[in-house]
Amino acid sequence: MNSLVRIDDKTYRLMGTEPSNVPPLQQKSVEVLPTRTLYSFAGDGVQVNVTFTTPALPDDLMIYSRPVTYVTWEALSTDGKGHTVKVYFDASPNIAVNDLNQPVQSESVSISGLATLRCGTTEQPVLQKRGDDLRIDWGHFYVSAPKSQKPAFAATSGADARQAFTTGVLPSGSADATPRSPKANAPVLAFGFDLGTIGTKKSSTCWLILAYDDNFSIQYFKKNLKPYWRRNGAEAADLLKLSASQYNSLVKRCTEFDADVMAMLRKAGGEQYAQICALAYRQCCAANKVAADENGQPLLFPKENFSNGCIATVDVIYPMAPQFLLFSPSLTKAMLVPIMDYASSPRWRWPFAPHDLGTYPHANGQVYGGGERTEDDQMPVEETGNMLILLAALAQVEGNVDFCAPYWPVLDKWAAYLKDKGFDPENQLCTDDFAGHLAHNVNLSAKAICGLGAYAKLCEQHGEKAKAQECLKLAKEFADRWVKEADDGDHFRLAFDKSGTWSQKYNLVWDHILGLNLFPETVLKKEMAFYRKSQNRYGLPLDNRQPYTKLDWTVWTSTLTGSAEDMQALIAPVYAFLNETPNRVPMTDWFRTPDAKHVGFQARSVVGGVFIKVLYDQPTWKQWVSKDKTKAAKWAPLPKPPKITCVVPAADTKPATWFYTVNKPTEQWVNPEFTPTDWKEGQSGFGAQNPPGAHISTPWTTGDIWIRRNFELTSTHHDLQLWIHHDEDAEIYINGVLAAKISGYSTTYDLHPINSRAKATLKSGKNTIAIHCHQTTGGQYIDAGLADVE
């Protein structure tokens, strides 16, 4: 995005780096609030305020789920003189593509009362890609402004439009409709506003809407779900008209919401704590998608950004939960329903909670570790403790266990697992899986103990008094053992069997929040004293093994004793990190405490965990929860899976003979008439190092492989799709036409749509499929067939 302002006869930059010969207007201040970011610039006798407003108001999910942001410019005279002011804005089509080579169509859209431009890929591959380092490339990005403001607008060359504005010329002309990629200078969506002469008594303003129109958001067990804002049939024009008509009221509501939230946060933890939470709020919202199920009820899906791209990851839901627990029971339930329904289904056969539902945006079943196949590399104690704790937190604030009613058999099974495995966890992963496997994890044990206490509370509310007393007694016995066996003098250990080690015990927050009273206060005070003397300049390391830390866990740890002084001692270095880190990235939760350098992870929802401190204050928590207008209930059951019929077998059912080469072939290799004379023949699948779900018949150990074969079709079908297992990137051609381009890797065979151009080439008789697979690291595998989906 770029923005320029012209004051009298001089042009300045407000956003962006172009034109490079135009100086920036001096920025005087910036303030980040939960729903707004406010910038102030000044020069040549004029102050220009630029405000971004995203109405992420959690009390009303129809507003909260809108993919809409307002940008407002306000100009006022500061020297008592009149000044002419013009404003320019453009947004590039980069926002609407996954990579910069995808052709984009830009156009003007006719919507009553609004000047509107939009852009989107010509391909529109709806929900076809999945993975981490991916961006949405279906739907359209919109820029829209009320015609009452008399905006000038055009889809045109960004360089030309910006340069013209430096002479006072606003964007004009019809949209450039030629499809081009951003790399090939695709047109930007440019707007200009003439604010006239601003005087000394009143400011002048202009504003516009940025919006994104995704027709479908999430694939949920093979069912494509609409975004929640579309639940009643709304289209993009409806979204823009409604957003424009509510601009004034929503800006007012956001202003009031921000003021109330910041006052609450300052009371809970002070000014620095409040600013950390404000920075986290919209990022946490944005890293989740709210979709509507078949009953129109909300389902909330986090994406595990900059990690592995999983969707609905339980150990992402756990740290982000405080923001949703605080502001909306409906959103809290919306994030728990998919996990609970999956865990209750025949698909999930383990006695512990799942880790995830798939790879974003495909929530079709767990992919992490052993997936649905084995217990390898799962997080059994971690995820089971997480779910029981979160269900108890929801029940506590609502005052009932109604939400848990359909899931009691699952809860009983999970509690039994923690009783058996929770106190002294085996060599397994926890949420901090980047640190590797760890046996006898003391902090993980604390989570299991709190999880059992949480289950006891749920049983108590459910009227099962004897079961509650029995489980609470066991949790208390475990806690007493924990205190003795984890003790290491002036602190408690990282692992029960490792003296001289330590770690943050952030999981203990729930002992106080849920009123379990399992661990004595002396434990918390001793740990805190050790933490305060173990900090580095930018915070408390996660444990003794590395100098890095997790921002969310550090904030949790800071609240353990309830002391404002202790909290500030741990919060201040985190605040300093956010101000002083040399890395210009979206708010990270994983950084080095000696030098504030970013380690990994960014733009993740887990930062919503910083709201944890407010959950200690029951009256304040209940006050915010009571504002929920949505009152979500009566979710649809898990979607019924489609009928899948094998049409062209892959190696998981019947290996086939393919031609293959590891030497880059000529460009004609995809064509049906191509003769692979110097290629080898081999049985599918092709791969090495036995990645999960693979059926290797022919070794492939190079960086690239090209494979092709002919196949016969003999009848009509409902919906032919690829049945493919790829590790890693794959390009699939059918009858010489690109049918799909898939990034990343899979851990099992799965369906993938064939685009309409390639599908149109399929015919009765002989057809050709050709695949190029590229490998970078780790295991590798490629194989494919075709399946009919009904």
User: How does pLDDT run across 49-81, given as a tens digit for each residue?
Assistant: 999 999 999 999 999 999 999 999 999 999 999
What is the separation of C-alpha 212 from the centre of its chain, rounded to a whole number of angstroms? 16
The neighbouring-strand residues paired with 197 are 84
- Confidence at 743, pLDDT banded by 50, 70, 90: confident
Q: Using the predicted structure, report yes or no on whether residue 174 has a pLDDT greater than 80.
A: no
Distance CA 478, CA 505 (A): 16
Q: What is the pLDDT of residue 617?
A: 97
Distance CA 427, CA 436 (A): 10
Q: Please count the other Cβ atoms lying within 10 Å of the Cβ belonging to residue 730.
A: 24
Q: What is the pLDDT of residue 540?
A: 98
Query: For residue 73, what are its two tokens?
Result: 């410019």
Distance CA 6, CA 14 (A): 10
Strands 686-688 and 698-699 come out as parallel
Average pLDDT of the chain is 96
**Amino acid (1-letter code) at residue 665:** P
List the single range of 634-638, 661-665, 755-759 with lowest mean pLDDT: 755-759
Q: Which residue has the higher pLDDT, 370 or 217?
A: 217
pTM, whole model, 2 decimals? Answer: 0.93
Q: Which residue has the higher pLDDT, 777 or 5?
A: 5
Are 313 and 430 spatial neighbours (Cβ–Cβ below 8 Å)? Answer: no
Helix (H) or strand (E) holding 27: strand 26-32
- Confidence at 133, pLDDT banded by 50, 70, 90: confident
Q: Tell me the mean pLDDT in the region 726-741.
A: 96
Q: What is the pLDDT of residue 47?
A: 97
Q: What's the sign of the alpha-carbon dihedral 252, 256, 262, 263?
A: positive
Give the model confidence (pLDDT) of 435-446 as tens digits: 888 999 999 999
Q: What is the pLDDT of residue 773?
A: 98
Q: What is the pLDDT of residue 29?
A: 98
Q: Using the predicted structure, report yes or no on whether residue 692 has a pLDDT greater than 90.
A: no
3-state secondary structure of 4: strand
Residue 712, CB-side half-sphere exposure with 13 Å CA sphere: 2
> Which residues neighbour 433 within 8 Å (Cβ) at sequence distance 6 or greater?
379
Q: What is the pLDDT of residue 41?
A: 98
Q: Which residue has the higher pLDDT, 429 or 702?
A: 702
Q: Alpha carbon of 448 to those of 337, 389, 488, 667: distances in Å? A: 22, 9, 21, 57
Count Cβ atoms within 10 A of the Cβ of residue 569 and give its class: 0-12 exposed, 13-18 middle, 19 or more buried: middle
Query: For residue 39, what are its two tokens?
Result: 């910038």
3-state secondary structure of 489: coil
Q: Using the predicted structure, report yes or no on whether residue 495 has a pLDDT greater than 80.
A: yes
Q: Which of 449, 421, 443 is nearest to 518 (CA)?
A: 449
Q: Tell me the mean pLDDT in the region 764-774.
A: 97
Distance CA 508, CA 448 (A): 10
Q: Alpha carbon of 270 to those of 254, 374, 536, 575, 731: distances in Å? A: 21, 47, 21, 12, 53
Distance CA 400, CA 180 (A): 56
Q: Tell me the mean pLDDT in the region 491-515.
A: 98
Q: Using the predicted structure, report yes or no on whether residue 200 has a pLDDT greater than 90.
A: no
> Which residues neighbour 692 within 8 Å (Cβ) at sequence distance 6 or greater?
370, 371, 373, 747, 748
Q: What is the pLDDT of residue 209?
A: 98
Q: Tell me the mean pLDDT in the region 19-37.
A: 97
Q: Tell me the mean pLDDT in the region 578-593.
A: 97
Are 417 and 351 spatial neighbours (Cβ–Cβ below 8 Å)? Answer: yes
- Confidence at 474, pLDDT banded by 50, 70, 90: very high
Q: What is the pLDDT of residue 432?
A: 85
Q: What is the pLDDT of residue 79?
A: 93
Q: Using the predicted structure, report yes or no on whether residue 202 has a pLDDT greater than 90.
A: no
Whether the bond into 171 is cis, omega within 30 of 0: no
Q: Which of 620, 595, 559, 554 is nearest to 261 (CA)?
A: 620
Residue keyed to tokens 């999430």: 218
> Which residues neighbour 646 within 8 Å (Cβ) at sequence distance 6 or greater?
653, 723, 785, 787
Are 512 and 554 spatial neighbours (Cβ–Cβ below 8 Å)? Answer: no
Count Cβ atoms within 10 A of the Cβ of residue 507 and give its class: 0-12 exposed, 13-18 middle, 19 or more buried: buried
Residue keyed to tokens 């013209």: 164
Longest distance between any two alpha carbons in the chain, whole Å:
83
Distance CA 18, CA 784 (A): 46
Are 526 and 491 spatial neighbours (Cβ–Cβ below 8 Å)? Answer: yes
